[in-house]
A and B are shown apart, each in its own frame.
Chain A
């Protein structure tokens, strides 16, 4: 495996991208990776939140038209991600965290596809009330997998597993506190506003 990765790192494409004197080249590839993420994960998360019960006034069916934007975002990410990988294959492909990131993204993409087929393919039955519990579980899973992808992606910036592990644990703790705090705040607000939790 390692000789192959070293060969990959010595190819023309890898050395050109890595050693380019142009300071804009590498950040521009990174920026495309970020822009693709913003639109793909952004729209996907909005759909997931809506399915979980946020903003029920928003009709579900028109989201179908935004799937092409999501998939274009995904192509941006796949291409820029491959270029970033070719720059440092011996770093990324020997890192457990990187494989976790790939698994989380693969899972999220697969779940988005399943949700599309289940929910959006039949235009006459996009938005039944209530939505099936299975779709809500899928939406929750999508949000979890995106959070895992973003965290694992951030962690690839560190090269020692100890810092990665500490940061992963810290992320889980802070997320739990934020989610619990948010849930408590929303419950309290509903109690004050409507006099009941439902």
Chain B
């Protein structure tokens, strides 16, 4: 298993790109931030509306902004995958070692998964449809507020632990 992961986690063409072009890493980092901005600027606003802020927004209309948030998340996922598979070229540590030993990176992943499960539950419990029926000024059901609060909490945790990743220990 370890040999398999060690083989597949290092991506030679990504590493090559980072070795060859000085600017690739920095550009991907900026794009990671742009993705984050799009995600919080769309999903975050819908969460705040469900929690009772700016209630004059009909939630169904706000959902028209969500594709931009999905695009932001894909941007973060693609650049994040780039950082993991190409990290050897940046700090000379194997991605397998980083993933296995950096507890902050692991916590970040846990919170991303929790945010995803929270989204699934938001749809599965019918809260998404219930929120769609809300007109301007109407209050969201308590369960929808719970999912909205959880979503904000999980994404803030993702950003917080992301900043701790370089402080993690990389023990081979």
The answer on A and B forming one complex is yes
Q: A58-B65, A59-B136 are in contact. Are A34 and B27 (CB under 8 A)?
A: no
Q: Which residue of A lies closest to B33 (CB)?
A: A150
Main secondary structure, interface of A, reads: helix
Q: A38-B44, A154-B30, A166-B22 are in contact. Are A49 and B166 (CB under 8 A)?
A: no
Q: Which A residues lie within 8 Å of B24 (CB)?
A: 170
Main secondary structure, interface of B, reads: helix
Contact A31–B163 (Cβ < 8 Å): yes
Give the residue of B21, B27, B44, B64 whose beta carbon is less than 8 angstroms from that of A42: B44
> Which of A8-16, A61-69, A99-107, A108-116 lies at the interface?
A61-69
Contact A62–B64 (Cβ < 8 Å): no
Judge if A169 is at the interface, Cβ distance under 8 Å: yes
> Which of A22-30, A85-93, A128-136 lies at the interface?
A22-30
The count of residues in chain A whose C-beta lies closer than 8 Å to any C-beta of chain B is: 48
Contact A174–B31 (Cβ < 8 Å): yes
B153–chain A nearest beta-carbon distance, Å: 12
Contact B48–A69 (Cβ < 8 Å): yes
Q: Which B residues lie within 8 Å of A154 (CB)?
A: 26, 29-30, 33
Judge if B156 is at the interface, Cβ distance under 8 Å: yes
Contact B40–A39 (Cβ < 8 Å): yes
Judge if B8 is at the interface, Cβ distance under 8 Å: no
- The total number of A-B Cβ pairs within 8 Å is 128
Judge if A83 is at the interface, Cβ distance under 8 Å: no
Q: How many angstroms from the CA of A182 to the CA of B39 in the assembled complex?
A: 17
Q: A41-B37, A42-B38, A150-B33 are in contact. Are A57 and B64 (CB under 8 A)?
A: yes
Give the residue of B44, B54, B61 whose beta carbon is less than 8 angstroms from that of A55: B61
Residues 152-190 of chain A: 1 if any B CB is under 8 Å from the residue's CB, otherwise 0?
001101100011001101110010000000000000000
Q: A61-B56, A65-B53, A66-B54 are in contact. Are A38 and B37 (CB under 8 A)?
A: yes
Q: A62-B56, A170-B23 are in contact. Are A27 and B37 (CB under 8 A)?
A: no
Contact A43–B30 (Cβ < 8 Å): no
Contact B22–A43 (Cβ < 8 Å): no
Residues 55-75 of chain B: 1 if any A CB is under 8 Å from the residue's CB, otherwise 0?
111100110110010000000
Q: How many angstroms from the CA of A104 to the CA of B64 in the assembled complex?
A: 29
Contact A41–B41 (Cβ < 8 Å): yes
B106–chain A nearest beta-carbon distance, Å: 16
Q: Which A residues lie within 8 Å of B156 (CB)?
A: 35
Contact A39–B164 (Cβ < 8 Å): no
A139–chain B nearest beta-carbon distance, Å: 13
The 3 closest A-B pairs by CB, nearest first: A170-B23, A42-B41, A167-B26
